[in-house]
Copies of this chain bind each other. A is one copy, B any other.
Amino acid sequence: MPEFRILKKDRNTRARAGILKTAHGVIHTPAFVPVATKGALRGISFENANKFGGDIFMVNTFHFYVDGKYKLVKKFGGLHEFLNIGYPLMTDSGGFQVFSLGFGLEHGVGKISNMFPGENRPGQHPKDNPALKKKNLVKITEEGAEFKYYKNGKKLFLDAETSIKTQKQLGADIIFAFDECTSPLSDYEYTKMSIDRTHRWAVRSLKEFEKGPKTDQGMMGIIQGGEFKDLREKAVEFVSSLPFFGFGIGGPLGQSKKDMHKILDWTLPILPESKPKHLLGIGDVDDIFNGVERGIDTFDCVNPTRLARHGTALTHGGRISLKSGRYVNSKEPVDKKCGCRICQNYSRAYVSSLLRDWEIYGVMLLVEHNLFYMLNLMREIRQAIKDGKFGELRRKYLK
């Protein structure tokens, strides 16, 4: 079982710097966990990401489950052997992908229903836009989730036992209990029914986890409950009574980022302080600050790599789109204040030129920059907490 230790707490917020020890090495927290969905980071090697401070990586159980690739990984001895890396790994439970294929499609939403800053702009909020809504491919019962695999139409079934068995075979250092990720549009009644079921799944997950020989893995329980205060509190009460190594805060996280902060404010203070907390699938720069100051220790998110694929750079001056025509003549680096290899060596004009020509190397350069940016941000946050300057750093980044 991994160990977690808090090294330093911020005076004014719940932010804390800590250390998470796993069989494959140490993670300095707060940490950003780059996502290697199908066993690879999109556009960069694990080795390089690790050099920039990537201590741990997230692989998605769902993708290894649906096409049976977990059996192949098992033959290799686990993900570490299959990917041939020695770094700590996380796997999620598959619950989020089940949501994506289910309510995600039916409601046309993600983990937060309305990501537009103006909120409820007509035609853009999924509630007002039937075109965003598709067929729900999932049927969830007490037993688990039955769904159609979009690639081949095959019917598959995922439940607590299968998820945990698979995650044990994958062998990541930190794994998650199987949960239902409800929709930000699910109502109180559905969410209430769902968390009770998720809690029974949590018990089944733990039971499956404890079967057989002891492993070095640590399992986190997941706190659900949508945007309903009493349900989130109920979830915390129940899940934290179980012997989980740590806790994941699961989506849905409301209608907007403000709701997400509310949900974190409801749950984090009543979770056991000494245990590590993970915010699932969230990781914009502002989210990181808002999560850390509420006591989140680790974040996984596809943002740095996904944004890069779409030509968007994270910079100290905010996001910029290098695919737009705006930077085609710029001799400046992608981000003047960044110390990465890309910003030390290349102009916005060159990176922009490659991206606008759909050159794979343009994506590689921007992935390297974006990932460096996020991992460097986490390093600065850890240092700031240690130096008692977290608030100062927050103001610097979120002007």
Determine, out of A18-26, A41-49, A108-116, A250-258, the stretch whose residues face the partner at the interface: A41-49
Determine, out of A68-76, A123-131, A177-185, the stretch whose residues face the partner at the interface: A68-76
Verify if A54 is at the interface (C-beta below 8 Å from B): no
Verify if A361 is at the interface (C-beta below 8 Å from B): yes
Q: In the bound complex, do residue B350 and residue A84 qualify as a contact, i.e. CB atoms below 8 Å apart?
A: yes
Q: Which of B83, B347, B359, B361 contacts A350 (CB 8 A)?
A: B83
Q: In the bound complex, do residue B360 and residue A42 qualify as a contact, i.e. CB atoms below 8 Å apart?
A: yes
Nearest CB in chain B: distance from A152 CB, A: 13
Chain B residues whose CB sits within 8 angstroms of the CB of A329 once the complex forms: 72, 75
Q: In the bound complex, do residue B331 and residue A76 qualify as a contact, i.e. CB atoms below 8 Å apart?
A: yes
Task: Render A313-351 as a binary contact track against B, CB cut-off 8 A, 1 for contact.
Answer: 000000000000000110100000000000001110110
Chain B residues whose CB sits within 8 angstroms of the CB of A345 once the complex forms: 84
Q: In the bound complex, do residue B349 and residue A41 qualify as a contact, i.e. CB atoms below 8 Å apart?
A: no
Verify if A189 is at the interface (C-beta below 8 Å from B): no
| Total count of chain A residues near the partner, CB < 8 A | 34
Task: Render A63-91 as a binary contact track against B, CB cut-off 8 A, 1 for contact.
Answer: 10000010010011000001110000000
Tell me which of A38, A40, A76, A331 has the highest count of chain B C-beta atoms within 10 A of its own C-beta: A40
* Copies of this chain, tallied across the complex: 2
Chain B residues whose CB sits within 8 angstroms of the CB of A39 once the complex forms: 350, 353-354, 359
Q: Which of B45, B75, B353, B362 contacts A69 (CB 8 A)?
A: B353
Give A344's nearest chain B residue, CB to CB. Answer: B84
- Give Cα A362 to B42, complex, Å: 9
Chain B residues whose CB sits within 8 angstroms of the CB of A72 once the complex forms: 328-329, 349, 353
Verify if A363 is at the interface (C-beta below 8 Å from B): yes
Verify if A364 is at the interface (C-beta below 8 Å from B): yes
- Give Cα A357 to B359, complex, Å: 19
Q: In the bound complex, do residue A354 and residue B38 qualify as a contact, i.e. CB atoms below 8 Å apart?
A: yes
- Give Cα A359 to B44, complex, Å: 11
Nearest CB in chain B: distance from A180 CB, A: 26
- Give Cα A69 to B328, complex, Å: 9
Q: In the bound complex, do residue B359 and residue A76 qualify as a contact, i.e. CB atoms below 8 Å apart?
A: no
- Give Cα A350 to B309, complex, Å: 22
- Give Cα A345 to B309, complex, Å: 26
Q: In the bound complex, do residue B350 and residue A42 qualify as a contact, i.e. CB atoms below 8 Å apart?
A: no
- Give Cα A190 to B309, complex, Å: 46
Nearest CB in chain B: distance from A358 CB, A: 9
Chain B residues whose CB sits within 8 angstroms of the CB of A359 once the complex forms: 38-40, 42
Q: Which of B40, B75, B76, B353 contacts A361 (CB 8 A)?
A: B40
Query: What are 22 contact pairs spanning A and B, CB under 8 A?
Result: A38-B359, A39-B350, A39-B353, A39-B354, A39-B359, A40-B362, A41-B361, A42-B359, A42-B361, A43-B361, A44-B361, A45-B364, A72-B329, A72-B349, A75-B329, A76-B331, A76-B347, A76-B349, A83-B350, A84-B345, A360-B360, A360-B364
Interface residues, chain A, with chain B CB atoms under 8 Å away: 38-45, 63, 69, 72, 75-76, 82-84, 309, 328-329, 331, 345-347, 349-350, 353-354, 357, 359-364
Given A76-B331, A76-B347, 12 more pairs with CB closer than 8 A: A39-B350, A40-B360, A40-B361, A42-B359, A43-B361, A44-B361, A69-B353, A72-B353, A75-B329, A82-B349, A84-B350, A364-B364
